[in-house]
Amino acid sequence: MEQRSQGALAGGAGGIECRSVRKTYRDLSGGTEVLALDGLSLDIAPREFLTLLGPSGCGKSTLLNIIAGFEKPDSGAVWLDGRPIERPGPDRGVVFQDYTLFPWLTVQRNVEYGLREKGLSAAEAAGVARHFLELVGLAGFEQRYPHELSGGMKQRVALIRVLAIDPQILLMDEPFAAVDAQTRAILQEELQRLWLQTRKTVVFVTHSVDEAIYLADRVAVMTARPGVAKAVVPIQLPRPRDATSDAFNAYRRDITRLIEVEARKVFST
């Protein structure tokens, strides 16, 4: 193992350090090795909202999966509060793009699932679930099955099922990519509100520049594959942010320029 860095992050509450993370994949169609991440290093401060922004296939999701503990890097390491990440766990809540609710459980049971695994009694779990369902306006939908919900509602359930177990870190993999634009705006606002209340460390993957600027403390712009963090842009705008303001526009222009160069690389290869 590499030497453990002793930055300000070690011992913090929900700080993540990525050191020279390298990850290759076997391309299923061609059978060739694809380099997804090439020595990526990135620090994420406790209670920070960081968005990972980059062109498709730049390894954003790969990095998220490694932080979640779903996948292991080929080399390099990822630490959470100074401890290496070995496996998935309830300290890192993941919100997937395709919701990934348990289809055989009702909304209520989906939200209670992690609470029951934590050892809460049925009554306690029901109480917490009720609180969160009300928080996102899903009271009255407790007994529905996921297939009976709209995309926006499913993603709310996916979000509160994770918030209910109170993880230190929230990992979100293009969570709003599959919902319509209006719902997306509402969900972004809700997420921001919940984040301001709870102040968890959030790593949020997106390919939308606006979404990245609207939500993030810092935007990490990733290069085209193989991915490394090309630039990390702190967004110094008061919340909630106005996407039509000049300052917002300036960020949009700068970051779009950074992204475009990388997006072109994808097509030229």
List of residues contacting another protein (CB under 8 A): 68-70, 87-90, 92-94, 96, 98, 100-105, 113-114, 117-118, 145-148, 161-162, 165
CA dihedral 70, 72, 117, 128 (to 10 degrees): -60
Tokens read off for 127: 């109480």
- CB 213 to another protein: min, Å: 28
Say which residue the tokens 């700068």 belong to: 254
Q: How far is the CB of 158 from another protein (least distance, A)?
A: 9
Residue count (the chain): 269
Token readout for 240 is 């909630």
Strands of the chain (E only): list them. 16-26, 33-44, 49-53, 75-80, 83-84, 92-95, 169-173, 201-206, 218-222, 229-234
Q: Of 69 and 73, which has the nearer Cβ to another protein?
A: 69
**CA 93 distance to own-chain centroid:** 9
Contact 17, 43 (CB under 8 A): yes
User: Considering the complex, what minimum distance in angstroms separates the CB of residue 15 from another protein?
Assistant: 19
Q: Which is nearer to another protein, 66 or 209 (CB)?
A: 66
Nearer to another protein, 72 or 118 (CB): 118
Q: Which is nearer to another protein, 102 or 253 (CB)?
A: 102
Q: Among residues 65 and 206, whose Cβ is nearest to another protein? A: 65
Instruction: Point out which residues pair with 229 in neighbouring strands.
Output: 222
Specify the DSSP class assigned to residue 212. H
The nearest distance, CB 78 to another protein, in angstroms, is 16
**Between 103 and 240, CB nearer to another protein:** 103
Round to whole Å and give the CA distance between 63 and 66.
5
CB of 179 to another protein, least distance (A): 18
Nearest distance in Å: CB 235, another protein: 28
